[in-house]
Amino acid sequence: MRTLRFLVNKLNSWSVLSVIFIVLILSPNIDILIHMFTKPNENWLHIKTYLLKDYIINSAILVVMTGVFCTLAGTIMAWLISAYNFPLRNFFKWALILPLAIPPYIAAYTYNGILDYTGVVQTFLRNDLGIQVNPRYFDIMSIYGAVFIFTMVLFPYVYMITRAFLEKQSASLIENARLLGKNSFEIFIYVILPISRGAILGGATLVALEVLNDYGVAAYFGVQTFSTAIFKTWFALGDIDSALKLAALLMLSVFGIVLLEKILRGRKKYNLTSKVRPIIRKQLKGAQAFLAVFICFVFFSFGFIIPTLQLLQWSILTYEKILNIYFIQLMFNSVWVALVASVLIITISVVIANFSRIEDNWFAKLISKLTLVGYSIPGAVIAIGVILFITQMDHQLQWLYKMIDPNSITLVLGTSIVMLLFAYVIRFLAVGYQSVESGFDKVGKKFFEASRMLGKNVTQTFIQVDYPMLKPAIISGFALTFVDIMKELPLTLILRPYNFDTLATKTYEYANNEMVHEASIASLIIILVSLCAIYLLYKLGDKEKI
């Protein structure tokens, strides 16, 4: 009887929908893991014997080197900005976030354009200075070039998280260390680094996940990584089974990284709940001030100014040719597909977050945690999982298709935009969800309970009470997902329907066809939209401090 009461009490549209959404989102990923254990074919033996080692080594070099460089650069600049005053500090404080607006694949082809034989650097040396240099010295299209690109556009992850953390730390920590006779360098090594460990690791993990997710940079530079290998095995060799095995391995390594982060983070938490006196910044003068400005300026220039200026110059050269009706169609495609996917993501986020707030038990917490899974899974893995899943669905639904139209093709969902939208939802649900969930956290449960006591059910309460209060969180969640989707490359590249191009895919296509100049305007639009989102994030962060 009690079970029946439990079921009647708990079964409502919010809980049922939450479970359905999570099952749908997890299914493609579980499909991949299951395929890891299927019988390997000849191709796989070939891959395993001759190629897999390279994929692993290359991916590891990219992740480790980028991780180390980003951690160094991000932490040093976070410390400079939080602990010192120097000329232009306030400008660099937010300017150092801007490189995040440039998707790595755009940075990759822009730098290659700058440095190649006809690029601005070699032309300047040759024509203006009369110096003949070996073009090989300027070849960025290697694994180390890729590390450079990733470092320059991804270091802000570490910078942002570490700076936000340091800003919340108490001045007394540093003052005590100073009174105990430590100099600035020692304080940085013995106090700041250990207490910021969690924040730095959090940033570094995001960097590692972004590197593993990348397809554009590695493919453009010809570096064999897991992601490029998945594409190649699948498209060039037509071997979906082996591609699935590679995807499963990549997924496991991602879980490994996330687990490693948890272990390294340890149990220590240095969260200070009470109000603290913030760190008082020390004034830097002379050579020290110059050095601080120099470091910030170098990273800001390489991460943002140089590629943006180059893209601007190229766009002036090509705008007459590019800006036509076809380009408007591209923009329209990018916008509507991002719009639809963002609406879906926010709707699902709201349903699950509300369910998890109301129920507040282990099951609801688990469902809430599972929404975050997709964000750590690389695009190539999600893509292959989604294709497999949707193809299976199409076969299951044959009877329905035949009933509606006897001449129906086999793959109905599989050739439609549904596949791409589904993949976006899996990959970016975490972005929208975190925003919506933090909104629910702020609103709390008391208004919900008050409304229930005044005779409104869960859905009526959501519409009349929760939604008006959640609006800011919903809008920011929507904006962040929208931008992430507009920038996205690997999923869009594989899963888009035939003849469907977006700004991101066209940019990549132009660059791949040696038409880097033509790619500039689409790239600039993507960067501009991303800048808007960064501004929004920055503003929201500021508000929270108050």
Number of residues that bind another protein (CB under 8 A): 23
410 lines the binding site for another protein (CB under 8 A): no
Interaction of residue 8 with another protein, rule CB under 8 A = yes
Question: Contact with another protein (CB under 8 A): which of 82, 451, 492, 520?
Answer: 451
9 vs 118, beta carbon nearer another protein = 9
Q: Decide if residue 472 touches another protein (CB under 8 A).
A: no
Q: Which stretch binds another protein (CB under 8 A): 96-104, 240-248, 430-438, 453-461?
A: 453-461
- Enter the tokens of residue 295: 């470091």
| Closest approach of another protein to the CB of residue 465, in Å | 6
3-state secondary structure (DSSP) of residue 269: coil
> Is 120 a binder of another protein (CB under 8 A)?
no
CB atoms within 10 A of CB 54: 13
Q: Count of alpha carbons within 13 Å of 141, Cβ hemisphere only?
A: 16
SS3 of 198-228: the string is HHHHHHHHHHHHHHHHCCHHHHHHCCCCHHH
From the list 237-245, 301-309, 462-470, 497-505, the region that binds another protein by CB under 8 A is 462-470
CA quadruple 399, 422, 504, 110: dihedral sign: negative
Q: Which of 11, 264 has the CB closer to another protein?
A: 11
Query: Which neighbouring-strand residues pair with 278?
Result: 170
Find the shortest distance in angstroms from Cβ 362 to another protein: 8
Q: How far is the CB of 303 from another protein (least distance, A)?
A: 41
3-state secondary structure of 84: strand
3-state DSSP call for residue 283? strand
13 in contact with another protein (CB under 8 A): no
CB 214, CB 173: distance < 8 Å: no
- Closest approach, Cβ 458 to another protein, in A, equals 9
**For residues 109 and 514, is the Cβ–Cβ distance under 8 A?**
no
The mark string for 297-336 relative to another protein (x by CB under 8 A, - otherwise) is ----------------------------------------
Angle between helices 197-213 and 143-167 (to 10 degrees): 150
Binding to another protein by residue 455, rule CB under 8 A? yes
- The whole-angstrom separation of Cα 533 and Cα 338 is 14
> Residue 170, SS3?
strand
% helix, strand, coil for the chain, step of 5:
80, 0, 20
Does 450 sit near another protein (CB under 8 A)?
yes
Nearest residue (CB) to another protein, 8 versus 236: 8
Q: How far is the CB of 197 from another protein (least distance, A)?
A: 31
User: Smaller CB distance to another protein: residue 275 or 446?
Assistant: 446
* 130 is a site residue for another protein (CB under 8 A): no
**Is residue 456 a contact residue for another protein (CB under 8 A)?**
yes
Which one of 118-126, 288-296, 454-462, 492-500 is the stretch in contact with another protein (CB under 8 A)?
A: 454-462
Partners of residue 283 on adjacent β-strands: 85
- Indicate which single residue of 54, 441, 449, 514 sits in contact with another protein (rule: CB under 8 A): 449
SS3 state of residue 165: helix
Which of 468, 498, 499, 545 lies at the binding interface for another protein (CB under 8 A)? 468
| Among the listed residues 369, 447, 528, 544, the single contact to another protein using CB under 8 A | 447
CA–CA separation, 470 and 477 (whole Å) = 11
Per CB under 8 A, 265 contacts another protein: no
Residues 6 or more apart from 29 whose CB is under 8 A from it?
251, 373, 374, 377, 381, 382, 385, 426
Cβ 448 to another protein, closest distance in Å? 9
Q: Which is nearer to another protein, 338 or 465 (CB)?
A: 465
Does residue 543 interact with another protein by CB under 8 A?
no
In whole angstroms, what is the distance from residue 233 CA to residue 372 CA?
Answer: 28
- Specify the stretch interacting with another protein by CB under 8 A; choose among 38-46, 165-173, 322-330, 444-452: 444-452
Nearer to another protein, 190 or 447 (CB): 447
In angstroms, give the least distance from the CB of 338 to another protein.
29
Is 282 in a helix, a strand, or coil?
strand
- When asked if residue 269 is in the footprint of another protein (CB under 8 A), the reply is no
Which stretch of DSSP H or E encloses residue 24? helix 13-35
Binding to another protein (CB under 8 A) within 359-398 occurs at 361-362
Say whether residue 11 binds another protein (CB under 8 A): no
CB 285 within 8 A of CB 69: no
Which residues pair with residue 282 across a beta bridge? 84
Distance between CA 366 and CA 382 in Å, rounded?
21
Q: How many CB atoms lie within 10 A of CB 94?
A: 15
Which of 107, 465, 474, 480 touches another protein (CB under 8 A)?
A: 465
Residues in touch with another protein (CB under 8 A): 1-2, 4-5, 8-9, 361-362, 446-447, 449-457, 464-465, 468-469
